[in-house]
Amino acid sequence: MKSATRIANLPPYLFAEIDRKIAAKRAEGVDVISLGIGDPVEPTPAHIIEAMSKEINDPVNHRYPSYFGLPEFRAAISRWYKRRFDVDLDPDTQVLPLVGSKEGIAHIHIAYVDPGDVVLVPDPGYPVYNSGTILAGGESHFMPLLAENNFLPDLGAIPADVAAKAKLMFLNYPNNPTSAIVAEGFFAEVVAFAKENEIVVAHDFPYSEITYDGYEAPSFLATPGALDVGVEFHSLSKTYNMTGWRIGWVAGSEEVIEAVGRVKSNIDSGIFNAIQKAGIVALEGPQDIIDDMIVIYARRRELVMSLLGKLGLKARSPQAAIYVWIEVPQGHTSASFAQLILDKAGVVVSPGSAYGPAGEGYIRISLTTPDDRLKEAVDRIAEAI
Ligand SMILES: Cc1ncc(COP(=O)(O)O)c(C=O)c1O
């Protein structure tokens, strides 16, 4: 059987590969500790689970959900934007609930990218920006995120002919995998660039609530003109420890929301209504879970940063998100260093090169491992190298 070319060009999904490596090592009897995936181990807060338990018993929720989400969930998202960022969004035309943001990030390509079109993809970046481009028959133009530019793309370095062919640009601050934050004024530059080149901007914003040391992450949609050129993806996954629930949204330009909704309604379904109702409780109930998680992540960040200091490994202490982006020692590549840590310490880290060519020379450690396991992983790495 011959599969479609677009499948042949698709790399294996990074985290599926990591899962495979973990399973293989465990089969050898190794007590593997994974620092590879950003998946909180703490439970979803009890009041959200209680709301879900109640809703799951109501047969009204057992039927097909609307493709475009419950009006009351859309309204809660709109209120969240107003409360958090003072952004006004029409819940009926500027908000679209998603089965986790990954779904919409993949679908937006289908709405905007024809074969041969260019997508501006941050490098390193969340793998779906590039995979979605491949699936749509487009071409990714990687925008290197370099330490010397504080991991922001240099818009001036995008050649004019590339910009002319570009339909879509992804951005993501606070950033995965570098944990970098956006510089003041950068989003305004992006709006101007997008207007000039008629590019749709897709800002991926899942780590907006996880910030340290008093830093507050700005929403792209709060930038003047942003609602004319783009959208923002968000999800409950990281904010409320709800990665398994699959609930998120895309919000912003009415035109883009309509286009993504058209794709979604044709090939995908809405979110289980009970989950949307629990999602309203997440957004509008007590928010202390977020502060509690920030304390936990900040503690783990210190643990990792102090190890790096001792080992002479270099990384910036993150001001947001849940990752530490570490330079590999001289003489190693991302892959060889990640392999060394796996073989000698039984610890899984993500090789930076898996997030794009400019990720070469780094590994990523996620702070979503319980403290005692993270401490053990850190001790094992120290001993191994
Ligand atoms: C940058 C980024 N975008 C999107 C997602 C997808 O999140 P979800 O599909 O759980 O909403 C993730 C998950 O790790 C991420 O790191």
For residue 12, pLDDT over 80 is answered with no
How does DSSP assign 102-141, residue by residue?
HHHHHHHHHHH--TT-EEEEEES--THHHHHHHHTT-EEE
Residues 119 and 210 in one domain: yes
219, 253, 284 - which closes a domain = 284
The pLDDT tens digits for 346-362 are 999 999 999 999 999 99
Q: How far is CA 204 from CA 28, 345, 380, in A?
A: 38, 33, 34
Residues with CB under 6 A from ligand 1: 38, 100-102, 126, 172, 176, 204, 206, 235, 237, 243, 248
Q: Which atom of ligand 1 is nearest to the CA of 105?
A: 4
In angstroms, the CA 198 to CA 166 distance is 8
In angstroms, the CA 110 to CA 225 distance is 24
pLDDT band with cut points at 50, 70 and 90 for residue 137 = very high
Residue nearest to atom 2 of ligand 1 (CA): 126
Residues 167 and 314 in one domain: no
In angstroms, the CA 58 to CA 89 distance is 30
Q: Are strands 95-98 and 118-123 parallel, antiparallel or unpaired?
A: unpaired
Distance from Cα 101 to the centre of ligand 1, integer Å: 6
pLDDT band with cut points at 50, 70 and 90 for residue 256 = very high
Pocket test for ligand 1, best of 13, 18, 101 (most atoms within 8 A of CB): 101
**Mean of the pLDDT values across residues 274-291?**
97
Residues 232 and 310 in one domain: no
Pocket test for ligand 1, best of 238, 268, 366 (most atoms within 8 A of CB): 238
What does the chain come to in residues?
385
Q: Which of 25-34, 71-80, 92-101, 314-323 has the lowest mean pLDDT?
A: 25-34
For residue 14, pLDDT over 90 is answered with no
The residue assigned the tokens 């800002």 is 203
Please report the pLDDT score of residue 73 as a whole number: 98
For residue 270, pLDDT over 80 is answered with yes
Domain of 293 in residue numbering reads as 5-43+288-384
In angstroms, the CA 280 to CA 49 distance is 12
Please report the pLDDT score of residue 20 as a whole number: 82
CATH number of the structural domain spanning residue 303:
3.90.1150.10
Q: Which residues pair with 204 in a beta bridge?
A: 233
pTM: 0.96
Please report the pLDDT score of residue 172 as a whole number: 98
Residues 374 and 310 in one domain: yes
236, 262, 284 - which closes a domain = 284
Q: Which atom of ligand 1 is nearest to the CA of 176?
A: 1
**Cα-Cα-Cα-Cα dihedral sign, residues 92, 95, 96, 100:** negative
Q: Which atom of ligand 1 is nearest to the CA of 175?
A: 1
For residue 325, pLDDT over 80 is answered with yes
CATH number of the structural domain spanning residue 161:
3.40.640.10
Residues 274 and 298 in one domain: no
**What percentage of the chain has pLDDT greater than the value 90?**
90
DSSP secondary-structure letter at 231? Answer: E
Distance from Cα 37 to the centre of ligand 1, integer Å: 11
